[in-house]
Amino acid sequence: DVQLVESGGGSVQTGGSLRLSCAASTYTGSINCVGWFRQAPGKEREGVASISTGGGSTVYADSVKGRFTISRDNTKNTVYLQMNSLKPDDTAMYYCATGVYCANVLSPSEYDTWGQGTQVTVS
């Protein structure tokens, strides 16, 4: 089974940057997309960005377009989320996840393997 480990979270001031990493034990051929999600206290988990494992196409939530960039390093089995111009509304626990069918890539229901999360706090 794939295991995911997120890292890179922390506390930053408004306008700051962080880069999150999602390291996978393996990205098997059955995994078609890797997504980043976030969940703030009292709110539903929401999709932030997704990248296909094949062609590398990306999708972003409107709330992060132009500020966040998802990328991958296949040699390291790692997907990154570069977050710039951070705002207090970006404060949440951030999770990465892998999916197979990937029809609606920003929907948590499309993903079946999840990491433990990394906290991002913007003040």
- Residue-level pLDDT at 90: 98
Identify the top-confidence range among 18-22, 29-33, 103-107: 18-22
48 closest CA partner among 16, 6, 8, 82: 82
Q: How many CB atoms lie within 10 A of CB 118?
A: 20
Kindly report the three-state secondary structure assignment for every residue of the chain. CCCEEEECCEEECCCCCEEEEEEECCCCCCCCEEEEEEECCCCCCEEEEEEECCCCCEEECCCCCCCEEEEEEHHHCEEEEEECCCCHHHCEEEEEEEECCCCCCCCHHHEEEECCCEEEEEC
What's the chain's average pLDDT?
A: 94
Confidence tier at 20 by pLDDT (50, 70, 90)? very high
Residue 27 has pLDDT above 90, yes or no: no
> Is the torsion defined by CA of 62, 19, 89, 50 positive or negative?
positive
68 contacts 13 by C-beta, under 8 angstroms: no
Tell me what pLDDT residue 101 has: 87
pLDDT at 21: 98
Chain centroid offset of residue 28 CA: 18
Residues 79-105 have pLDDT tens digits of: 999 999 999 999 999 999 999 888 889
Give residue-wise pLDDT tens across range 35-80. Answer: 999 999 999 999 999 999 888 899 999 999 999 999 999 889 999 9
